[in-house]
């Protein structure tokens, strides 16, 4: 028997409808996988970063102390000199003549004094016999005192002549490095006016910088709390990096902290002393320094990519009960060993989501995979921008 086409179509549709109603719904997708790990723990010391400049510990401008033509230049421009080393010689002939004249004056004054002393002695004897009057004896005594004063004046002029002669030899008052000479042989120099050269002492050398008032307040409060001594009293360590260097290879100690904050800039001036035995560092050179910024404290380290930003907050996802993740606000710090310091917000035993954060939602159930946080770099304290002043720029683990 032949079935009509309409009936065949109806039967086929009915069969499909029955089969669709009898099939089970597909199973839900599995929870997304997420790698979790406990934070890495370290003993951390913060370092605060500054930009500064090297300056000479001593900077002496040599000026002629007597007038005359330059007779000799006894040093090499820009060379290192020792204390007391001869640098210039000013024509000594007129000063030797002046010294000879002064010595002759001293000899003449001594002779006059001897004569006045003898006359005064005879006067005292004669006045006892009434051979001369008391007035004449007083005159002889006054002549003696005048002769003594004349000798003292002649000796003073001789001493001045000796000093002037010694000033014709210009010697280095300190050990250091010279600039170029400002005069040549034959140039006439004027006492107290003509600059001859400059000498700077560069071993050790100063590293000078200015710190913000907020950093100063932090250090004072740390000192009061016993966490870190103030650089005003303690030689806190400073490490310096030059413009072309990858690491902080220069070591120094704090030596000075100014007694006030500048009202114009709101900063306080300080400097550290740095050993410079081979003279590599020179005044005027710039550098980036890091100063000990805290005592030692325990901190937890997590990868930077495990931290997300929610407007002004920093968050990490923490794995809780039933494998549910929850966001947790944290206070971050600088970088240590390639990882970010977490100061507050998580416990050392809590598991942090370190992978798959793009899919994370609060309260989401995940399939945890055990991971491990490892140090990513040497403890060289790479540059890190502080979250807010005066947060430290860097830190190192001990």
What is the DSSP track for 261-316? --TTTSEEEEEEEE--TT--S-TT-EEEEEEEEEEEEEEEEE-GGG-EEETTEEEE
- Picking from 304, 323, 324, the residue whose alpha carbon sits closest to that of residue 314 is 304
Instruction: Please give the pLDDT value at position 397.
Output: 73
- b/e 108-146 (16+ beta carbons within 10 angstroms → b): ebeebbeebeebbeebeeebeeeebeeeebeebbebbee
Range 93-165 classified under CATH 1.10.3470: no
pTM of full prediction above 0.95: no
Low-confidence ranges of the chain (pLDDT < 50): 1, 3, 17-18, 20, 381-389
* 147-156: long-range pairs with CB below 8 Å, 24+: 147/109, 147/112, 147/113, 147/115, 147/116, 147/117, 148/113, 148/116, 150/109, 150/112, 150/113, 151/106, 151/109, 151/110, 151/112, 151/113, 153/109, 154/102, 154/105, 154/106, 154/108, 154/109, 155/106, 155/109
CB 53 within 8 A of CB 208: yes
Domain span(s) for CATH 2.40.50.100 in the chain: 64-90+168-198
Instruction: Please give the pLDDT value at position 312.
Output: 84
Distance CA 372, CA 375 (A): 10
Q: How many helices (H) and strands (E) does the chain have?
A: 4, 22
What sign results for the dihedral spanned by CA atoms 92, 82, 184, 76?
Answer: positive
Q: What is the pLDDT of residues 189-243, one digit of tens each?
A: 999 999 999 999 999 999 999 999 999 999 999 999 998 999 999 999 999 999 9
The residues, ordered by sequence, that sit 6+ positions from 79 with a Cβ below 8 Å of its Cβ are 177, 178
**What CATH number labels 64-90+168-198?**
2.40.50.100
> Percent of the chain at pLDDT above 70?
89
Domain span(s) for CATH 1.10.287 in the chain: 93-165
Distance CA 365, CA 30 (A): 10
Sheet holding 68-73, edge to edge: 169-171, 86-90, 68-73, 188-189
Bridge partner list, 47: 292, 394
34-56+204-397 topology per CATH: Elongation Factor Tu (Ef-tu); domain 3 (2.40.30)
CB 341 within 8 A of CB 375: no
Instruction: Please give the pLDDT value at position 386.
Output: 36
Domain span(s) for CATH 2.40.30.170 in the chain: 34-56+204-397
């Amino acid at each position: 028997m032949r079935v009509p086409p309409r009936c065949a179509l109806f039967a086929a549709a009915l069969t499909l409808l029955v089969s669709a109603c009898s099939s089970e719904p597909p199973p839900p997708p599995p929870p997304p996988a997420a790698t979790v790990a406990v934070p890495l723990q370290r003993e951390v010391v913060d370092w605060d970063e500054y930009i500064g400049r090297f300056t000479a510990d001593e900077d002496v401008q040599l000026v002629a102390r007597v007038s005359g033509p330059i007779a000799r230049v006894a040093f090499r421009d820009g060379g290192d000199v020792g204390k007391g080393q001869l640098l210039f010689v000013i024509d000594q002939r007129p000063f030797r003549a002046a010294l000879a004249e002064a010595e002759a004056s001293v000899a003449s004054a001594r002779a006059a004094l001897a004569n006045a002393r003898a006359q005064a002695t005879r006067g005292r004897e004669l006045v006892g016999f009434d051979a001369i009057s008391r007035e004449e004896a007083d005159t002889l005594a006054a002549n003696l005192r005048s002769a003594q004063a004349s000798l003292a004046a002649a000796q003073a002029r001789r001493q001045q002549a000796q000093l002037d002669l010694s000033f014709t030899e210009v010697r280095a008052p300190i050990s250091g490095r010279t600039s170029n000479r400002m005069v040549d042989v034959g140039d006439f120099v004027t006492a107290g006016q003509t600059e001859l050269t400059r000498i700077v002492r560069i071993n050790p050398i100063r590293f000078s910088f200015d710190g913000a008032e907020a950093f100063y307040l932090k250090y004072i409060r740390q000192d009061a709390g016993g966490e870190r001594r103030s650089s005003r009293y303690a030689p806190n360590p400073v490490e310096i990096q030059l413009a072309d260097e990858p690491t902080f290879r220069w070591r120094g100690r704090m030596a000075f902290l100014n007694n006030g904050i500048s009202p114009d800039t709101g900063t306080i001036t300080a400097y550290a002393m740095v050993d410079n035995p081979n003279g590599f560092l020179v005044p005027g050179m710039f550098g980036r320094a890091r100063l000990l910024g805290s005592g030692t404290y325990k901190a937890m380290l997590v990868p930077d990519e495990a931290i997300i930003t929610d407007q002004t907050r920093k968050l990490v996802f923490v794995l809780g009960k039933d494998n549910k993740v929850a966001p947790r606000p944290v206070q971050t710090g600088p970088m240590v060993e390639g990882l970010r310091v977490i100061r507050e917000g998580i416990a050392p035993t809590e598991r942090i989501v370190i992978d798959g954060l793009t899919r994370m939602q609060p309260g989401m159930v995940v399939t945890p995979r055990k991971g491990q946080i490892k140090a990513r770099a040497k403890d060289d304290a790479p540059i890190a921008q502080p979250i807010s002043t005066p947060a430290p720029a860097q830190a190192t683990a001990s």
